[in-house]
Amino acid sequence: MPVNSSFQIANIVGYKFIFEPIKSNMYALVDQNEVLAIDTNISSDSLSFIDNHAADLWTAIFTHENFDHISGLNTIREKCSCKCIASIQSSENFGNMRKNMSAHYDALFIMRDEETQALARSIVPNGYQAQPADIRFSGTMEFEWHGLYFKLQSTPGHTKGSICIVCNETHIFTGDTLVDGFPSVTKLPGGSKSDFEKYAIPFINSLPKDAI
């Protein structure tokens, strides 16, 4: 099973899949014929993983609605039994090609080399739409999965529907609220610098300093 890298939370193994050319991440935890995914993508490695786990029961959580973070959702729904969780705002935008950025995805790479631009055009030539999430929430949602405790917290700024995901108070999945430790881009559709400063930054600053 090809993977980009692996990690462990408590006694559960997780895998990380990188989506080129924008280098966004999909994470998947696996235990007892169940998969919990955080964001989904269509890299060759993640598609192979989905095929290998098509018989498993999936829970997929989405940090926000941008195409590079939801691009694997339709594939998972077609091949697997999947329960999808997202904020109300993100869920509403899954099917909106302008708001999920798929309508102009290639424009993000206009300053890159021609090979990268061609790859971006080939990934989503006609835009991308997905049905709303099965479970939608506002503010905060908490649940347990195979002994791991998850807190989903609304952190608007990058998009109105952005969330951060805290697992066992030790691992933080921020989507694009933080990118390589730096604050989010808030100038794209749905972004808000004032929301980021009001909601996201205080939450990020409240997290355990030793969290991964």
| 21-45 residues labelled b (16+ CB within 10 A) or e (exposed) | bbebbbbbbbbeeebbbbbbbbbeb
Q: For the chain (length 212 residues), average pLDDT per consecutive 10?
A: 78 93 91 97 93 97 96 96 98 95 82 80 82 98 98 96 96 89 77 92 87 74
pLDDT of 87 reads 98
Give the three-class secondary structure for 182.
strand
Residue 109 φ/ψ, nearest 5 degrees: -115, 20
Helix locations, 126-200, DSSP H: 193-195
pLDDT of 80 reads 97
pLDDT of 1 reads 43
pTM: 0.92
pLDDT of 51 reads 96
pLDDT of 88 reads 98
Enumerate residues 6+ apart whose C-beta is below 8 A from 98: 104, 189
pLDDT of 3 reads 57
pLDDT of 29 reads 98
Separation in Å, CA 119 to CA 2, 124, 205: 21, 9, 37
CA distance 66 to 82: 19
